[in-house]
Homo-oligomer: A and B are copies of this chain.
Amino acid sequence: MKLLKDDIRVFAPATVANVGCGFDVLGFCLGNVGDEVILRRTEGKEIRVTKIQGAEYLPFESDKNVASVAIRAMLDELGVSLGLEVELYKNVKPGSGMGSSASSSAGAVYALNEMLDKPFLNLDLVRFAMKGEEAASQKAHADNVAPAIMGGFTLVRSYNPLDIVSLDFPKDLHAVVVYPQVDVKTSDASKMLRKEIKLQQAITQWANVAGLVSGLSKSDYDLISRSMEDVIVEPIRSILIPYFGEAKEAALSKGALSFNISGSGPSVFSFTDSEETALDVEKAINEVFEQHQVETRSFVSTISPEGARVLE
């Protein structure tokens, strides 16, 4: 195995998973929001997480940190031992619903693949990063790591075999993501879901999924807007997000195409058809939370065709 570099720094983007009606299968990559991951070769064979800036409370143990777990899965498949130091600069806050753990694990395996002679394809990297997701949440999800690695708008069509589809989407589609700084545990949010749902609701949901994918492929913003309704999960999970309804109303009144939960929350996001509208919508959503003394962080971005990337 050829080692091209002794150290590398990568940008590991934030991602929005679920995407309205696309619960558990759709996700997209933000262009200008994300973490940095640094890998540095060291003597020996250990993988050591030496720094987690911005979220020092995350585990440093290499069998628990999502980045080192993902790296270990990759090295194991290569049959290679390598000493590595991992530094994580977290801008995407854990628990925000913007794919924080995916950002770390995707960034780590992307970085290692670039350090080596690119032995793996993106689909393999997704597979390794999923091991990190598993360490973080007991579920080897791909809906955040796939867009974090591959960029764009992704569909996890199947896990067995793993089948990730890159969807077409309009270049002008903007996302406004607002993170209200309240605590919502993904595991709590998941426990609220029923294991059985009505067939009629499921049909409504997949009709919307079909509409969304068609709207994205045809740049039909109105169809995207009509289709971005989750009738199954959001009515339940939105209860956990304070002022959700008020913020939704504010966003739609400013021309947002949609307003939904990002991941399992508490972050929320809107699609818009221009940057101008996106900035208006961002302001309107922020104002709602501010009125209620909830601090926010917010972002406006197109959907980035590129996922993780090397920083010089």
Query: Is A193 in the interface zone, CB < 8 Å from B?
Result: yes
- Chain B positions within 8 Å of A226 at CB level: 157-158, 163
Please tell me which one of the listed residues B199, B209, B213, B223 contacts residue A195 in the complex, with CB atoms under 8 A apart: B199
- Chain B positions within 8 Å of A217 at CB level: 168, 213-214, 217-218
Interface members, chain A 1-54 (any B CB < 8 Å) = 21-26
Q: B193 touching A196 by the CB < 8 A rule? A: no
Query: Is A198 in the interface zone, CB < 8 Å from B?
Result: yes
- Chain B positions within 8 Å of A207 at CB level: 24-25, 155-158
For residue A36, give the distance in angstroms from its CB to the closest CB of chain B: 32
Which chain B residue lies CB-closest to A196? Answer: B196
Q: Once the chains are docked, how many angstroms separate the CA of A119 from the CA of B122?
A: 54
- Chain B positions within 8 Å of A223 at CB level: 157, 165
Please tell me which one of the listed residues B157, B194, B218 contacts residue A199 in the complex, with CB atoms under 8 A apart: B194
Q: B25 touching A157 by the CB < 8 A rule? A: no
Q: Copies of this chain, how many? A: 2
Interface members, chain A 137-177 (any B CB < 8 Å) = 155-158, 163, 165, 167-168
Q: A197 touching B206 by the CB < 8 A rule? A: no
Known A-B contacts A26-B210, A156-B207, A213-B214; A199 and B196 likewise in contact (beta carbons under 8 Å): yes
Q: Once the chains are docked, how many angstroms separate the CA of A211 from the CA of B203?
A: 16
- Chain B positions within 8 Å of A24 at CB level: 203, 207
Please tell me which one of the listed residues B23, B157, B205, B211 contacts residue A165 in the complex, with CB atoms under 8 A apart: B211
Which chain B residue lies CB-closest to A217? Answer: B217
Which chain B residue lies CB-closest to A24? Answer: B203
Q: List 21 A-B contacts (CB under 8 A).
A: A22-B210, A25-B210, A157-B207, A157-B208, A157-B223, A158-B226, A165-B211, A167-B210, A167-B214, A168-B214, A168-B217, A168-B218, A195-B198, A197-B197, A202-B202, A206-B206, A210-B210, A210-B212, A210-B213, A213-B213, A217-B217
Given contacts A21-B206, A165-B214, 14 further A-B contacts (CB under 8 A): A24-B207, A26-B210, A155-B207, A156-B207, A168-B214, A168-B218, A197-B197, A197-B199, A205-B206, A206-B206, A209-B210, A210-B210, A213-B213, A213-B217
Q: Which residues of A contact B (CB under 8 A)?
A: 21-26, 155-158, 163, 165, 167-168, 193-200, 202-214, 217-218, 223, 226-227, 232
